[in-house]
Amino acid sequence: MPSVNELEKVTRTYLPESEVKSIRRAYEFGLKAHEGQIRKSGEPYISHPVEVARILADMHMDYQTLCAAILHDVIEDTETVKEEIKILFDKGIADLVDGVSKLTQIKFDSREEAQAHNFRKMVMAMSNDIRVILVKLADRLHNMRTLDALSAEQRRRIARETLDIYAPIAQRLGINNIRLELEELGFEILYPMRYRILNEQVIKARGHRKEIIAKIRNAIRRRMRQEKATAQIIGREKHLYGIYQKMLKNKLSFSEVYDVYAFRIIVENVEMCYRVLGIVHNLYKPVPLKFKDYIAIPKVNGYQSLHTILFGPFGVPIEVQIRTHEMDDVAESGIASHWLYKTGSSNEHKSAQKRARSWLKNVMDMQATAGNPQEFLENVKVDLFPDSVYNFTPKGKIVELPRGATAVDFAYAIHTDVGNRCVGVRIDRRLAPLGTVLSTGQTVEIINSPNARPDPAWLNFAITAKARSNIRHFLKNLQSNEAESLGKRLLVRELKLLSVNYDDIKKDKMQKTLDDNHLKEEIELLRDIGLGNRNAKIIARQLTDNTETVTNKTKSKKDDKHPLIIKGTEGMVIKFPKCCLPIPGDKILGFVTTGRGIVVHDQSCPNVAEYRNHPEKWINVVWESNIDSDFQANLTVEVTNQRGMLAKLASTISEESANIVHIEMKDRDDRYTTLKFIIEVKDRIHLALIMRKVRIIKNVARISRG
């Protein structure tokens, strides 16, 4: 009873009496529903939901959220159904309780899979009503406060999940007070020894710090009075997990991190923020390049403040944050501060809501394109830890990206279609590679082409979740289409070897083959054949009821009559390995590999020997007679060490309409250097012409392919 009385006392400070009575009714209903249920700590179960509601009441959440918090376990743990809550209370409360209930853990094959599935469900629930996640965060916070009754292994698992997912979500939604406590509790459980040592160090150093903090605060206060500026000045202390993370990330000692003195100055309006900035800069010298204006360019979660670092007295650095009262509420309560200012919301709070919902929309886009829950979780984890850079579009729009983001990330941040069709970029009006890492303040212009498509190589440098998930999604669809086309060609070929036409296969025969292979559609069968997951020969026999035993010799003769024609434009399902890089005109051999399609080798490639014991994977392939594509080829040139040789070689290759993809140089000795080129050519004739031209260059000692 004392806890529900305290809850009512807090809610009466900001809610009307009728809504406080609804909260009491929810408590009485929950008390009856959970009657006889005991927590592992030995307390009556109802104490947990009441404490969850109390955490949300301290954030001044609306009465529906508080009722839902009290009732959040009744659907899951008791006989109560959603309709009953809807009748007794209202639809809003019933939907919230149902939303939280749907986030309950279910059993999966692995802990990682369970975590990924739960997180995916959490995001989908958030997209319907963001208050669902606020209840879930408060629920997790109270559970973290009361983990003592669980085993050490359970405590560690819950603490790891809290630091990996729940604390970053609280940060992303700007709920700083919950985020800090979750991090602190998680740190203490996961690393008890490190926590204890750091805590002892902080307590030991605190006495000396208090004196310095008081002197700096008084100095700022005096200068503010002289300038007739009123403000609230708070000396902040870094929390232990923040100290630990900084020590870890920057490889600093405890004293180096703890010697930074932090202050928050809270003022009446935005104009006063900038005025106070001038006052503190006048009092203590600012550290160059350490000023950040999050008022003009807010963080993605709506956080706004001016940050500056100063050279303080006694040679100590001073970290100062300057913000308005409303900005401070957003900083502490984030998106939850919206309910604090429900009536007559200021632009600052509308901005916090808009930004949080914008992030949620991006997360939902990722959810739609992610191949599986684990990939989705991996993508969002990247997105939850942004150390941001800010860039401009040519029209002056600001785009926020995580530190280390590239031009490709920028393109996808603008729009998925812009990313999918980008071919180049101008950074500050100069052409640059798409993999260029962006810095704050740069103007980025993406160059698009209607026929362009994502390159798999982009995954090597794209870092944002949106870019990576969209590239993967596009390539996956592209590979599926290409695999379907190749699969059909392979099946048609095998059926021809059995003197059967593909179009003559009866529907019931196709359906039986699909059933035998546990597939639903013909397209799935063709894709599996194209990707090498199923053998076209076996499927052809199933479709024709052919049980004839075919020897390798007979197979070879039949294959020669119906080889697979390679065009070089099949995309991702026909690959040319770097060991030999075959080109039109070379004698080639294909190998069907599971999940990758067909790998085409030059017949003279040393790696072909590996496949000699697997003739069932061989496939007779030939080049199409007229191919209008470029193919990569290896070229090794040995030259005497002379100035300008690389330029001469590059110029000669370029004059013969060949593109140089890669160059590698290695000094053989004092006299000779070996240059390895990967160039793009049309066929063997084109390559032979280039080799002839290179061979006659003075100081070229030897040239060979490979």
Which residues participate in catalysis according to the annotation?
76-77
DSSP three-state, residue 676 = strand
Say if CB 241 and CB 299 are below 8 A apart.
no
Phi, psi of 680 (to 5 degrees): -105, 125
Short-list 169, 106, 174, CA closest to 139: 169
Distance, in Å, from the CA atom of 78 to the CA atom of 97, rounded to the nearest integer, reads 13
Torsion of Cα atoms, 560 then 562 then 567 then 571, to 10°:
-110
Distance, in Å, from the CA atom of 682 to the CA atom of 424, rounded to the nearest integer, reads 25
Phi, psi of 622 (to 5 degrees): -135, 155
Q: Specify the DSSP element, H or E, that contains 378.
A: helix 373-384
| DSSP annotation of 703 | E
In the block, residue with structure tokens 């984890």: 381
Say if CB 55 and CB 138 are below 8 A apart.
yes
DSSP three-state, residue 582 = coil
Give residues with Cβ within 8 angstroms of 144, minimum separation 6. Answer: 158, 159, 162, 181, 182, 185, 186, 189
Say if CB 458 and CB 552 are below 8 A apart.
no
| DSSP annotation of 163 | I
H helices within 498-620, ranges in order? 507-516, 522-530, 536-544, 552-561
Residue 36 — left, alpha, or beta (φ > 0 → left; ψ -120 to 50 → alpha)? Answer: left
| DSSP annotation of 486 | H
Distance, in Å, from the CA atom of 195 to the CA atom of 189, rounded to the nearest integer, reads 9
Answer positive or negative: Cα dihedral of 254, 260, 261, 267.
negative
Distance, in Å, from the CA atom of 68 to the CA atom of 74, rounded to the nearest integer, reads 10
Say if CB 57 and CB 11 are below 8 A apart.
yes
Short-list 687, 665, 667, 686, CA closest to 676: 665
Give residues with Cβ within 8 angstroms of 456, minimum separation 6. Answer: 471, 475, 572
CA angle 192, 195, 197 (to 5 degrees): 110
Q: How many angstroms separate the Cα of 627 from the Cα of each of 79, 113, 475, 544, 691?
A: 70, 46, 24, 34, 21
